[in-house]
Structure 1
Amino acid sequence: MSSEAKIRLDRVEKKYHGTSVPAVEELSLDVHEGEILVLVGPSGCGKSTTLRLINRMIEPTGGKIYLDDEDVTTVDPDKLRRRIGYVIQQIGLFPHQTIAQNIATVPRMLKWDKARIAARADELLHLAGLDPEIYRDRYPKELSGGQAQRVGVARALGADPEIMLMDEPFGAIDPITRERLQNEFLRLQAELKKTIVFVTHDIDEAIKMGDRIAILGERSVIRQLDTPERILAFPVDQFVDDFIGAGSTIKGLNFEQLSGLRLGGYPTIRSDQSPQAGLEALNESNKTWLLVVDEQNRPMRWMREGDLQQSTGSYQDEGSEVRIRLNAEDTLFDSLEQMLQSESGSCCVVDRHGALTGVVEMAHLRRAIRRAQVEARRHYEDLEDNA
């Protein structure tokens, strides 16, 4: 992702005839090249209106819109829209056209030759996870909702636009299919690196999809614009805090991997050591639990003092079996989920061979949360000092 602005809105306004209050009021916003910027806010705040202003489906009544530093408020709107992929919640596939013909909509307008159009349609079906041999000649009515939405995305990518506008593209799909499509689209974006403005009313979707999030109030006034991590760690006002809702601290744990934690020593004994050795290690550590590991340092069982006192040294039935092991690439949220299910209240982290590298405890998560909050607060204090 580049810090260069691919799209720039300069005091853009939209006021409908007969109304005194603008739908969008002097909105200034940069969208960086290669990023997903999510516009999120309550119903009626102007999210979709802003999206339609960018590709001039509706005309601004004030301000300028720049694409690659070109003022596009003065160019032919039809030519502009052919440079921009557009995906909507209702999908809008043409029912009388095959899937391949739908995908070819913009390439045909640009007068690509037939061979190039056919190759592009097959390429995009592959990218969307749909076998061209099966789907290219089908009609929209023969698709499931998730398949149709994939075709909608493929059609938006038809002429390989650098910019995509997505208006609640996964909003009308069941939760399981929605999550799969979100994951698939993020995989595609990692490969294609399009510049994307994505509208949603769902803060959880915004957190998952966005490189940055703009939380909008009435008339598309920006209340906070930042990375999901910083918004969750430090909502700048009560409006943002209320909109994010409960659980923002927990959601923020999704953005840090276990590799970022400093995991100190944790009491362990090998399975060939005596229970007495375990009791000594436990007493020296001031911990409640101890880990029994095998000869390859792979975690086997959690043991407490009473378990060790009753143990015969076989460590087969005493204590609690270590059922879940996480890797350094897993998130703090993953560890919290496992800690809540573990009798010990802790979670083992292992390397690719399964050998123990550390134990995550609740104190590690508390420190990580405090660190994120302090860093976000300092960031905004620095912005104020430099303003």
Structure 2
Amino acid sequence: MTTASETHLDKDSASGGGSKIHLDRVGKTYPGSKVPAVEELTLDVPEGEILVLVGPSGCGKSTTLRLINRMIEPSTGRILLDGEDVTRANPDKLRRRIGYVIQQIGLFPHQTIAQNIATVPKMLGWDKTRIQERTTELLTTVGLDPEQFAHRYPRELSGGQAQRVGVARALGADPDIMLMDEPFGAIDPITRDRLQNEFLRLQAELHKTIVFVTHDIDEAIKMGDRIAILGERSMIRQVDTPERILAYPVDDFVSDFIGTGATIKGLNFLKVSSLTLADFPTMADGDSPEAVRGKLQQAGYQWAVVLDAERRPSGWIHQDALGGSGEQAPIEGTLDSDGTLFHALEQMVQSESGMTVVTGASGRFEGVVRMTDLAKAIRRAQVEARRHYDDLEANS
């Protein structure tokens, strides 16, 4: 039976439909085994996209990467790059077109950093000047000073520095396609987060087509334009944007793999701008306690936002403090319309009022985000995702 996730594959799947990378019913069965490591995998990766393959250990994620650059040969099916069937091409020439980054980094220990980065350009016959300029450019791009690092050896680098060099080497010949197999998996969490952010910054400039393997769903959500969740034998259980997968896992396997907290994670993809901010009681200069108390009673709230003469929020005031102490509670940060609802939630749990203040131009007050606003936004995202999959099923 065709699942909702399978119908999300491009309609032109037989020919690749213009995708940068197209796998057409690719399979791999190793000698001596009756069970395929990869079975009938059809997948499209549009140009400039980061597609993350994620799934449990042993599901065939890394095997799929090795099939794409033909480090291993497929048993069945076709692999197309820019519409060309590369299963008939010279595998060495193919691999020079593709940047490849692995968890173990794989730098040559007897070569300097500059020599490591120059590996593929040298194979392609680039002249020394061009290679040197490219090496300098790439070290700068990944945040390593060429004067300090070009002549060092891998043993002289930290794990994070070595991983940056691994990325630079993969970019050496400026490939259109990059394959990344657990590239940040063996690094401490702080360095890993920094490298992820740095790589996303680079991708915003370079627009490479990337297939990224991880076992970490949080990393997949952060890094992927789309995520393909794989089951046994690299069978696709769901492939879509992170926000749709979080809002509507199509089956129990996907739901279990995502784990608890999917709803909260999904708030990272919802912006304050998606909300309609309701009128909220405020206390401006010159407002009497009686007038503010009347606003609160009419609106059904216990807190009002205190505004200065420029209508900028300066604090919260509870109805019990009106006409009495006048004591204000601090505002634990504000958000603008580009802020995420996840950040809104973070501020809510720190705020004495349990709400988040939204500001606009010049920091002027625009409204508040309440817990009920988050709940409505989540339900709306779930309904929209479910409608999307229902439409796919109906049109399949």
Is TM more than 0.5 here? yes
* Pairing 1:169-188 to 2, within 5 Å after superposition: 169-188=183-202
* Pairing 1:269-308 to 2, within 5 Å after superposition: 269-308=283-322
Task: Say if 2:207 is the partner of 1:193.
Answer: yes
The residue type paired with residue 356 of structure 2 is: C
* Pairing 1:141-180 to 2, within 5 Å after superposition: 141-180=155-194
Which string of whole-angstrom CA distances, capped at 9 and with x for unpartnered residues, describes residues 47-87 of structure 1?
00000000000011111000011000011100000000000
Q: CA deviation at 1:309?
A: 3.6
Distance of 1:93 and 1:359 partners within structure 2: 52
Task: Say if 2:379 is the partner of 1:370.
Answer: yes
Task: Say if 2:281 is the partner of 1:267.
Answer: yes
Task: Say if 2:353 is the partner of 1:339.
Answer: no
Which string of whole-angstrom CA distances, capped at 9 and with x for unpartnered residues, describes residues 332-362 of structure 1?
0000011011110000111241111111101
Assess if the C-alpha contact under 8 Å between 2:49 and 2:208 holds in 1: yes
Q: CA deviation at 1:269?
A: 1.4
Unaligned runs of 5+ in 1: none
Query: Counterpart in 2 of 1:98?
Result: 112
Unaligned runs of 5+ in 2: 1-16
The 3-state SS of whatever aligns with 1:329 is coil
Question: TM-score, length-normalised on structure 1?
Answer: 0.97
Distance of 1:291 and 1:7 partners within structure 2: 53
Which residue of 127, 133, 138 maps to 1:119? 133
Query: Counterpart in 2 of 1:8?
Result: 22
Distance of 1:172 and 1:92 partners within structure 2: 13
The residue type paired with residue 340 of structure 2 is: T
Q: Percent identity?
A: 69
Q: CA deviation at 1:283?
A: 1.4
Distance of 2:260 and 2:319 partners within structure 1: 38
The residue type paired with residue 173 of structure 1 is: I
Which string of whole-angstrom CA distances, capped at 9 and with x for unpartnered residues, describes residues 283-306 of structure 1?
121112111110011111211211
Query: Counterpart in 2 of 1:129?
Result: 143
Task: Say if 2:258 is the partner of 1:244.
Answer: yes
Query: Counterpart in 1 of 2:334?
Result: 325
Task: Say if 2:67 is the partner of 1:58.
Answer: no
Task: Say if 2:392 is the partner of 1:383.
Answer: yes
Task: Say if 2:32 is the partner of 1:18.
Answer: yes
The 3-state SS of whatever aligns with 2:30 is coil
Distance of 1:342 and 1:21 partners within structure 2: 55
The residue type paired with residue 307 of structure 1 is: A
Distance of 1:256 and 1:323 partners within structure 2: 20
Query: Counterpart in 2 of 1:83?
Result: 97
Distance of 1:166 and 1:106 partners within structure 2: 17
Distance of 2:324 and 2:285 partners within structure 1: 15
Distance of 2:315 and 2:307 partners within structure 1: 7
Q: CA deviation at 1:273?
A: 2.2
Distance of 2:333 and 2:373 partners within structure 1: 18
The residue type paired with residue 48 of structure 1 is: S
Runs of 4 or more, structure 1, over 3 Å off, are none
The 3-state SS of whatever aligns with 1:5 is coil
The residue type paired with residue 278 of structure 1 is: V
Q: CA RMSD in A?
A: 1.0
Aligned residue pairs total 380
